[in-house]
Amino acid sequence: MGPHRPLLAHARAPERPPRAPLEREPRRTERRPLDSEDRAPWADLPDRYPSYQTCHRRFQHWVRAGLLRSLLEILAQALHDEGHLDLQEAFIDGSFAPAKHGGAAVGKTKRGKGSKIMAVADRQGLPVAVYVESATPHDVTLVHATLAERFVSPLPKRLIGDNAFESDRLDAELARRGVELIAPHRRTRTHRTQDGRPLRRYRRRWKIERLFAWFQNFRRIVVRYERCAENFLGMLHLACCLILLRGL
């Protein structure tokens, strides 16, 4: 052993400065399942649920079996029988949902590719029908398909919409089914057929806008990530169930 080895054995290495903590991604338990940035992808489900593949597979099974639709019809019919749904007048409108991954029922618009959500609300603003179609067709061409997707058996007595639904042909078709269409005329129209008294009901059209505002609280509906249109419609049915449950 050399003469300097004992001195080296008792020597201490210089102390290093502590490292700064590294910035890391939040764990799954720390993430919000309905984050406004990612719009709630399946992979961000909380850990208390099974794997997101299992949840997605079961959801698809419920949608294809018509389970969510059946539950919604039973709930809506029960509310209608108890007088909580008033179909003396109803409101109709459409909303745009951008589609990030494409798929069925996706069309091109000036706002990009997406789908159109058509909805009908009762006198209290509760949903009675929802329908998903490509964003390309005009709203007036989707009225009959939307009414066919209603959750209750009777048709509304009066259907109120904005001037996008102003059509003599649609007015006559709905009149044969016992539905009165109330929509203001466009400014360019010369032959006016709407009476001023029924148009007073148009002031309450804000209730359908409030329904779409309620839909915006469900992040899965704000942006469409589902490639299958039936899965996206299933999300809408689930949201309608939650909204109707508030009326109990």
Region of residue 83 (phi > 0: left; psi between -120 and 50: alpha; otherwise: beta):
left
pLDDT tens per residue across span 124-164: 999 999 999 999 999 999 999 999 999 999 999 999 998 88
pTM score over 0.85: no
| DSSP assigned state of 35 | -
**How do residues 182-199 score in pLDDT, each as one tens digit?**
888 776 666 666 666 677
Lowest mean pLDDT among 81-85, 98-102, 231-235, 240-244: 98-102
CA distances from 37 to 21, 32, 44, 112, 224 (A): 25, 10, 12, 19, 13
Cα–Cα dist 96/94, whole Å: 7
- For residue 229, give every residue at least 6 positions away whose Cβ sits within 8 Å of its Cβ, in sequence order, or none: 103, 104, 105, 115, 132
Whether 9 has a pLDDT exceeding 80, the answer reads no
